[in-house]
A and B are shown apart, each in its own frame.
Chain A
Amino acid sequence: MPSWKTQNLSRHFTLSMLLLGCLLAGVRDMRGQGNYEIQVYGSDTVPPKNLMVELHSNYTASGQTKLIDGVYPTNHQEHETLELTQGINDWAEVGFYVFTSEQDGHGVQWVGDHIRPRVRAPESWHLPVGLSLSTEIGYQRTIYSPDTWTWEIRPIIDKTLGRWYLAFNPALERTWHGPDVNQGLGFSPAVKVSYDFTRQISGGVEYYADYGRLFSFDTFHNQQQQFFVVTDLNVSPVWEINFGVGIGPTAATDHLIVKGILGRRFNWGRKSSVE
């Protein structure tokens, strides 16, 4: 299951809104598409004694309409994903996901779960860019993805330049159980470029792709490519709000998706001012 993720632009949490998207090129296999968490990761991790609770709401306004190899069509699926991320220390966190899908005729269904440990380069390294490394292991039911057990490793590089924010996630994916188990590592990069219009409102573009097997990419027609126009609203240090609209230009990719993220940070640490 590709991890398509929108970034949470900094430690200030955001609200968003927005429009537009663009292209999607062919999906290697539409059955494997998983618009459950659409996010380009930033390098920051959740601080220790903090729990980040996020709800990812993604609606496929125009997607696959046919049942293929027993996998439900994505058209008009509403995906609700609960993400819980606990900070471990100043440089590590663990995330846990519960994926669900709602669709006419199928009701609300549990899709699967993932766990995602992540570490980052500490501030004391004084690197010129933000750098972290995430790995994600998970299961999803066959009727939503023929590849039931998957693994992903995701380097995360980001940089803030004045009002501009840039993030790059060159993710590698591996199927452990399912039809793609012999395909080896797949390459799924994601990119975000955004601009701070004001202290509260940022807007930008996100790009997600699945090029297929590493060193042996699928034809362009069979690659997943998708573009989102997104907005983040930094209304409070404890809230994150993000909204975006994405389009995929190829026949094999969902053509129109609307996504939103609502997050809230809970601090379990002591409230003493001396901490």
Chain B
Amino acid sequence: MMAGSLLMGAGPGKNAAPDVTLEIAPYTLEASPKRHFRTIAYNGQVPGPLLRMRQGQEQTVEVRNLTTDAEVVHWHGLFLPSAIDGAMEEGTPMIAPGATARYTFRPDPPGFRWFHTHTFAGNNLDKAQYGGQHGFLMIEPSENAGNYDREVFIGLHDWGGHLTGSDDGSMNPVYDVSTINGKMLGFGDPVRVKQGERVLMHILNSSPTEVHWIALASHTFQVIALDGNAVPHPQTVPMLRLAPAERVSALVQMNAPGVWVLGEVRKHVQAAGMGIVIEYAGAAGKPVWTQPNDLVWDYRQFAAPADTKQLGDEAVRIILAIDSKFQGHGNEEQWRINGKSYPNTDEPILKTGQRYRLVLKNLSMDDHPMHLHRHTFEVRKLVDGASEMQGLRKDVVLVPAKSTTEVEFVADNPGKTLFHCHQQDHMDRGFMMVFQYA
């Protein structure tokens, strides 16, 4: 595990220039000339700045909070101490309005990570992850053996949320506008490519609540990493599915000259703006979209079959039953883990070095993107009765409704560890728990 430290306010380290400065401040996003959103952003841009760090190389990050609310930055996917991981539930101090905090850490593991706010929104669908506080974080490995010509970062987000009744009988957020890299389709700069290039696309779904399906007309994706971790079996697929907080790294062979749309597969979401133009050098004309007929995705194709000798018998099982308590057709549901909502949820005690299997029994009618802080888990079983698998290492897994998903992790990073649904509305309504270390 990599060590890290936090310095709030003035201190001996304050005089040295930080490697990275993040300024949290109000910002008006122009998704299109007709759609503007008053939000909070990092360094006056949405997504925030692309941060590149070298694995294991010490970094100092200074965060200035220029807003009127306390803030915190979560370094999603990194193995950091609880005090700087960026969740107040783990003990990371909030940054008061007008205050500055400094974090020093050696980033690990390598791969495509991200950073975002980790605060409460409640019924304010402009705050927290509903807003613009998210950015790409690339931790370069000590040796980069990537076989590509260049990288492109793609961020999916939804804006203008409001609560509306849904088929499950409660209020859920729906959105007016969906963007890629902060722009609606047709209003951002195109991604310019050349024929024959191998482009490594790093795609992040920073949506507060929505799962997204992404395709690129006339091209396919060779998925090489999920949540920044290399997959055992890279596969070529026609589209990608990303739950909130998930990342996909995929190689795209640029072998179909033209002007194309990379966008959401579902028509109404692309119509709300989720798309970006991919333009070959020398090509011209109106961007072309080819509409797929189905939504296709399966994590299992990227995993290796389980070695029957390593079925995880040594793992300690922790069973977590997920359900919700109806609060009325005009309310969102109250979410529970084993019948309790945060902050009253259980706090299992982990033993350092022990392997644990989380048995996630989703009794609800919703899919849930479950995120474990400060650790990477291995997805072992996706639905009831499915065969075991191995090698698929992630920090977010979408647990389908009315089914059980099993993941394993090694308790190797002592400190409070938050485990929660990454849907902002679900977090806000109790869908969190904290693991303690003995």
A interface list, Cβ under 8 A from B: 9-12, 44, 123-124, 126, 159-165, 196, 198-199, 202, 234, 237, 272-275
**Complex contact A198–B326 (CB within 8 A):** yes
Chain B interface mostly: loop
Interface size bucket, B side?
20 to 34
CB distance from A238 to the nearest CB of B (A): 10
Given contacts A126-B162, A274-B293, 16 further A-B contacts (CB under 8 A): A9-B329, A10-B165, A10-B329, A12-B329, A123-B162, A123-B174, A164-B330, A165-B329, A165-B330, A198-B326, A199-B326, A272-B293, A274-B295, A275-B266, A275-B267, A275-B268
In the complex, what residues of A have CB within 8 A of residue B285's CB?
Answer: none
The CA-CA distance from A9 to B329 in the complex, in Å, is 9
In the complex, what residues of B have CB within 8 A of residue A273's CB?
Answer: 266, 294-295
The CA-CA distance from A126 to B164 in the complex, in Å, is 10
Contact with A along B279-299 (1 / 0, CB 8 A): 000000000000111110000
CB distance from B164 to the nearest CB of A (A): 6
**Complex contact B331–A11 (CB within 8 A):** no
Name 7 interchain pairs, CB-CB below 8 A, sorted by A: A123-B174, A162-B327, A162-B328, A165-B329, A237-B167, A272-B294, A273-B294
- Given A123-B174, A126-B162, residue A196 in contact with residue B293 (CB < 8 A): no
CB distance from A141 to the nearest CB of B (A): 39
Which of A11, A44, A164, A272 sits near B328, CB closer than 8 Å? A164
Asked if B176 is an interface residue, CB under 8 A from chain A, the answer is: yes
- The residues in B between 47 and 90 inclusive whose CB is less than 8 angstroms from any CB of A are none
In the complex, what residues of A have CB within 8 A of residue B196's CB?
Answer: none
- Given A123-B164, A123-B174, residue A163 in contact with residue B293 (CB < 8 A): no
For the complex of A and B, list the 9 residue pairs with the smallest distance between their C-beta atoms, beginning with the closest. A160-B330, A163-B328, A199-B326, A162-B328, A237-B167, A273-B295, A196-B328, A199-B169, A162-B331
**Complex contact A274–B265 (CB within 8 A):** yes
Q: Which of B293, B328, B331 has the most CB of A within 10 A?
A: B328
In the complex, what residues of A have CB within 8 A of residue B174's CB?
Answer: 123
**Complex contact A163–B327 (CB within 8 A):** yes
The CA-CA distance from A202 to B162 in the complex, in Å, is 24
**Complex contact B295–A124 (CB within 8 A):** no
The CA-CA distance from A164 to B165 in the complex, in Å, is 14
Which of B294, B330, B331 sits near A274, CB closer than 8 Å? B294
CB distance from A203 to the nearest CB of B (A): 13
Chain A interface mostly: loop
**Complex contact B165–A11 (CB within 8 A):** yes
The CA-CA distance from A159 to B266 in the complex, in Å, is 30
In the complex, what residues of A have CB within 8 A of residue B294's CB?
Answer: 272-274
**Complex contact A11–B330 (CB within 8 A):** no
- The residue of chain A having its C-beta at the shortest distance from the C-beta of B162 within the complex is A126
- The residue of chain A having its C-beta at the shortest distance from the C-beta of B295 within the complex is A273
The CA-CA distance from A161 to B331 in the complex, in Å, is 7
In the complex, what residues of B have CB within 8 A of residue A11's CB?
Answer: 165, 167
Which of A161, A199, A274 sits near B266, CB closer than 8 Å? A274
CB distance from A51 to the nearest CB of B (A): 18
CB distance from B18 to the nearest CB of A (A): 41
The CA-CA distance from A274 to B270 in the complex, in Å, is 10
- The residue of chain A having its C-beta at the shortest distance from the C-beta of B264 within the complex is A274
In the complex, what residues of B have CB within 8 A of residue A202's CB?
Answer: 329
CB distance from B301 to the nearest CB of A (A): 19
**Complex contact B167–A162 (CB within 8 A):** no
- The residues in B between 161 and 201 inclusive whose CB is less than 8 angstroms from any CB of A are 162, 164-165, 167, 169, 171, 174, 176
In the complex, what residues of B have CB within 8 A of residue A126's CB?
Answer: 162
The CA-CA distance from A273 to B331 in the complex, in Å, is 27
CB distance from B320 to the nearest CB of A (A): 22
- The residue of chain A having its C-beta at the shortest distance from the C-beta of B328 within the complex is A163
In the complex, what residues of A have CB within 8 A of residue B291's CB?
Answer: 274
In the complex, what residues of A have CB within 8 A of residue B268's CB?
Answer: 275
**Complex contact A234–B295 (CB within 8 A):** no
**Complex contact B162–A234 (CB within 8 A):** no
- The residue of chain A having its C-beta at the shortest distance from the C-beta of B215 within the complex is A274
In the complex, what residues of B have CB within 8 A of residue A198's CB?
Answer: 326
In the complex, what residues of B have CB within 8 A of residue A12's CB?
Answer: 165, 167, 169, 329
CB distance from A26 to the nearest CB of B (A): 36
**Complex contact A196–B326 (CB within 8 A):** yes
CB distance from B161 to the nearest CB of A (A): 10
CB distance from A41 to the nearest CB of B (A): 16
In the complex, what residues of A have CB within 8 A of residue B326's CB?
Answer: 196, 198-199
In the complex, what residues of A have CB within 8 A of residue B164's CB?
Answer: 123
In the complex, what residues of B have CB within 8 A of residue A199's CB?
Answer: 169, 326
The CA-CA distance from A165 to B331 in the complex, in Å, is 11
CB distance from B266 to the nearest CB of A (A): 5
The CA-CA distance from A177 to B94 in the complex, in Å, is 72
**Complex contact B169–A161 (CB within 8 A):** no
In the complex, what residues of A have CB within 8 A of residue B295's CB?
Answer: 273-274
In the complex, what residues of B have CB within 8 A of residue A9's CB?
Answer: 329
The CA-CA distance from A44 to B293 in the complex, in Å, is 29
**Complex contact B169–A234 (CB within 8 A):** yes
Which of A123, A162, A272, A275 sits near B330, CB closer than 8 Å? A162
- The residue of chain B having its C-beta at the shortest distance from the C-beta of A200 within the complex is B169
In the complex, what residues of A have CB within 8 A of residue B331's CB?
Answer: 162-163
Which of B176, B267, B293, B330 sits near A161, CB closer than 8 Å? B330
CB distance from B62 to the nearest CB of A (A): 38
The CA-CA distance from A12 to B268 in the complex, in Å, is 22
- The residue of chain A having its C-beta at the shortest distance from the C-beta of B171 within the complex is A160
CB distance from B424 to the nearest CB of A (A): 19
In the complex, what residues of A have CB within 8 A of residue B169's CB?
Answer: 10, 12, 199, 234
In the complex, what residues of B have CB within 8 A of residue A237's CB?
Answer: 167
